[in-house]
Amino acid sequence: GAVVSQHPSRVICKSGTSVKIECRSLDFQATTMFWYRQFPKKSLMLMATSNEGSKATYEQGVEKDKFLINHASLTLSTLTVTSAHPEDSSFYICSARRGGPGTEAFFGQGTRLTVV
Amino acid sequence: KNEVEQSPQNLTAQEGEFITINCSYSVGISALHWLQQHPGGGIVSLFMLSSGKKKHGRLIATINIQEKHSSLHITASHPRDSAVYICAADLRNKLIFGTGTRLQVFP
């Protein structure tokens, strides 16, 4: 199956700093990638849809200035958590699809962010 | 009411038992995904199906489009099957996730 690589898998940062998380599709081109957040023992919550070459589409309630998404190439999307606060501590995971609806979704390994 | 409902929420089994996890959805979808999430957090895609039945090793997934219902079966369960199993409805290129079923298989 296709591989989506996410980095880093774990990061600890100080309040007020910014953290960048990378999501790469290693063996296919992904025009669309998705960023999710997961709280403990809860399901995945879609934060935004990352579109190559254009602005990301954010879900209601997600601050676009807080969670900056850049999809500069067909194989790389980045999520930057700006001015991180302890309440941003969470598990973040990306996914990518080879095509549109009805195609298989592949997930990164996830990033556990802890803001101290 | 959630658009995707899963049951049971928690499931324990003895090694070798046959396991069924159910998923019901209330929206029209292009496909239904079954995912597996291990304790470390990584998610693996098990199946994507839009009709009928698929089988991979000891895993079987079925879907009934008319009844908006899908099931994931695990035959001859093993402790390494312990994980959270999530169904997700594929709706206009977005995935709507169920709450997950936490499965523990004991030796």
pLDDT per position as a tens digit, B2-15: 789 999 999 999 99
* Residue-averaged pLDDT of chain A: 92
How far lies A115's CA from each of A16, A80, B2, in Å?
A: 9, 13, 31
Output the pLDDT for position B91. Answer: 86
Using the structure block, give the residue that is written with the tokens 């089994």: B13
Q: In chain B, which residue's Cα lies nearest the Cα of A2?
A: B45
Report residue B70's pLDDT band, with 50, 70 and 90 as the boundaries.
Answer: very high
- In terms of DSSP H, where are the helices of chain A? none
Q: Give me the pLDDT at residue A24, please.
A: 95
A104 vs B33: CB contact, 8 Å cut-off?
yes
φ, ψ for residue A86, nearest 5 deg: -55, -35
User: Number of C-alpha atoms within 13 angstroms, CB side, residue B74?
Assistant: 26
Is the omega angle on the peptide bond into residue A8 within 30 degrees of 0, that is, cis? yes
φ and ψ of B81, to 5 deg: -80, -10
**Looking at residue A86, what DSSP letter applies?**
G
Instruction: Decide the pairing of beta strands A57-58 and A111-115.
Output: unpaired
**Confidence at residue A102, expressed as pLDDT on a 0 to 100 scale:** 79
Query: A98 pLDDT exceeds 80?
Result: no
Bridge partners, A11 (sequence order)? A113
Q: Which residue of B lies nearest to A105 if distances are taken between CA atoms?
A: B45
With a cut of 70, say whether residue B1 has pLDDT above it.
no
β-bridge mates for residue B11, sequence order:
B103
A93 touches chain B (CB under 8 A): yes
A104:B45 CB<8 A:
yes
Cβ–Cβ below 8 Å for A1 and B94: no
Q: Is B23 exposed, middle or buried (0-12, 13-18, 19+ CB in 10 A)?
A: buried
- Please judge whether A46 and B94 are an interchain contact, meaning their C-beta atoms are less than 8 angstroms apart: yes
Best residue in B4, B9, B43 for a mutation probing chain A (most A CBs within 10 Å) = B43
CB contact under 8 A, A109 and B40: yes
φ, ψ (nearest 5 deg) of residue A106: -120, 140
d(CA B39, CA A6): 17
Average of per-residue pLDDT across B44-55: 94
The pLDDT, as a whole number, for residue B28 is 82
Q: What does residue B27 show for φ and ψ, rounded to 5 degrees? A: -120, 160
Q: Which residue of B has its CA nearest to A40?
A: B41
